[in-house]
Amino acid sequence: MEGKIRVTKPNLTNVEREDIDCGRFKALIFDFDGLLVDTESCMFRAWEALMKPYGVDVSPLQVAGLVGSSAPATALYYLYRHHSGLNHSDTQIRDRVLELAYQMIETLSERAGVRDYLNFAKQKRLKLALATSSEREHYLPILQRLNLDHYFDCFTGAEEIEEIRRKPCPDVYLASLEKLGVSAHQAIAFEDSPPGITAARSADISTVAVTNLLTRHLDVSHANVVLSSMSQLSLANLIERLSR
């Protein structure tokens, strides 16, 4: 397994080099939520907006535990009912949070450095896949609005979850490798949360954690490389480091 690298400062020479040899790497596999587009921070801001009228402060850490998980936000549901005095069901509260979050998501751009990575990958003829637990009706319109959908050779999402296990199981990555026609040794996975990193590492794929407002509070030390943004390290330099 490659040594772990944590990049803590911006790379001041973050320029893609045309002469870089991608070596054994033939494909990149990306998570979606919180990684390409920071939809997860919108969930935090939605909870923040929902609680603010009742004088309740919500911290990123309270919402971070829900990232990459299908578990209900039980503690937050309780806080809302307790402070608002409203006897809303979990479903009603969740739907309101999602409504607020999607209003914010509609104005989001891709995260810093994402388009540079995708352009460089295509320039080097690397294959690209999206591996997510989200449904196509969620991620595809966002990718299309941002003109990012055309970069990807294949998508594996929630439509296939009935046939494969969710992250942190490696199934979504194993399915992506099969679609791309590459081995785990030839791929790099990009994730933002512990369950996703575990899924990729369990598939024996070199994994890069790119944390966000929420997941920077979580333990992502099992990734091979940890970044706070793709703009922090060029894809050329990242490939070079993972090839050592």
Reported as a single tens digit per residue, the pLDDT across 196-223 is 999 999 999 999 999 999 999 899 999 9
How do residues 167-193 score in pLDDT, each as one tens digit?
A: 999 999 999 999 999 999 999 999 999
**Is pTM beyond 0.85 here?**
yes
- Catalytically active residues are 31, 33
Domain 5-37+111-242 has CATH 3.40.50.1000: yes
Residue 7 has a pLDDT of 60
Query: What secondary structure, in 3-state letters, does 119-168 show?
Result: HHHHHCCCEEEEECCCCHHHHHHHHHHCCCHHHCCEEECHHHCCCCCCCC
Render pLDDT for 124-167 as a digit per residue (tens, 0 to 9).
999 999 999 899 999 999 999 999 999 999 999 988 766 678 89
**What pLDDT score was predicted for residue 28?**
99
